[in-house]
Amino acid sequence: MNNIRSGTRIACLMLLVCTVAFAAGGETVTYVDGVDAAFPPFSFIDETGEASGFDVEVVRWIADELGFEVEIVPIDWDAIIPTLLTEEIDLIASGMSITAARAERVAFTSSYWSVDLAVVVRETADADGEPVAELNPFTLMGGGRRIGVQRGTTSQTWLEENVVGAGIDVELVLYENFLLALEDLEIGRVDGAVMDAPTASSSISERPVTIAGSIATGEIYGYAVRPQDAELLDLLNEGLRRIQQTDTWDALVQKWLVGS
């Protein structure tokens, strides 16, 4: 008899533990902002585990100004749009380029910044011992070289369409985030890496790599929401309009996006 009781008790206890454990994680915030955790200067998680970056600060300012709460959640970049669509997050404010393909799935705010792509290569020393790029963009594209990009980015698409797709002999290596591509560039596993220019500038200072050139794609960044979330889209557009008229905008641009 004892076995039945204790068995049932154990089962109930386990159910209780599960429910409590699960409920303990519940959170209540208004809008959830999904970001790439390693995309400086627009969004990244710093050493203390806090979200930081240009887009993070802008969205926080907008939330303050327009009276909603925002929670920043890092998401793997190449799954970020599905994550938006499954309603796990409500917006994406993370240096996301507006593209036709993406616009079919999500709604974008008006653009707030424009970038080109940068081609990053290793540094070597020239005859005078001065640091110089090991390869230039033209020597990089060919000869079976390996080029690293972040999975799910416009860099990947551009290279796929214009380089690999054009029959040029390069091997595209896909990384979870571009910082890993830079790591491998340093080590020598890839010969070059392509990424958005601001992110390149902000990440290469401590590494023996340098920007060899740029690809003028003139991409524009926008914030993304679900197509049916017209209200949130309006909020964000209004917020962007307001902040761009303040000194805060200039200060943030100066802090995050100018020079390195």
Which tokens belong to 24? 């303990």
Determine the straight-line distance between the first and last CA of the chain, rounded to whole angstroms. 74
- In angstroms, give the least distance from the CB of 73 to other proteins: 7
Which tokens belong to 68? 């909603």
Task: Rank residues 89 and 243 by Cβ distance to other proteins and give the closer one.
Answer: 89
- In angstroms, give the least distance from the CB of 43 to other proteins: 12
Per residue, the 3-state secondary structure of the chain, as one string, reads CHHHHHHHHHHHHHHHHHHHHHHCCCCCCCEEEEECCEECCCEEECCCCCEECHHHHHHHHHHHHHCCCEEEEECCHHHHHHHHHCCCCCEECCCCECCHHHHCCCEECCCCEEEEEEEEEEEEECCCCCEEECCCHHHHCCCCEEEEEECCCHHHHHHHHHHHCCCCCEEEEEECCHHHHHHHHHHCCCCEEEEEHHHHHHHCCCCCEEEEEEEEEEEEECCEECCCCHHHHHHHHHHHHHHCCCHHHHHHHHHHHCCC
Task: Rank residues 86 and 254 by Cβ distance to other proteins and give the closer one.
Answer: 86
- In angstroms, give the least distance from the CB of 88 to other proteins: 6
- In angstroms, give the least distance from the CB of 178 to other proteins: 9
- In angstroms, give the least distance from the CB of 240 to other proteins: 26
Q: Which residues bind other proteins (CB under 8 A)?
A: 1, 3-4, 7, 11, 14-15, 17-18, 21-22, 24-25, 37-38, 44-49, 73-76, 78-79, 81-83, 85-88, 105, 151-152, 173-177, 179-180, 183-184, 187-189, 206
Task: Rank residues 146 and 242 by Cβ distance to other proteins and give the closer one.
Answer: 146
Task: Rank residues 97 and 240 by Cβ distance to other proteins and give the closer one.
Answer: 97
Task: Rank residues 132 and 174 by Cβ distance to other proteins and give the closer one.
Answer: 174
- In angstroms, give the least distance from the CB of 42 to other proteins: 14
- In angstroms, give the least distance from the CB of 6 to other proteins: 9
Find residue 33's DSSP bridge partners: 72, 91
Task: Rank residues 21 and 216 by Cβ distance to other proteins and give the closer one.
Answer: 21
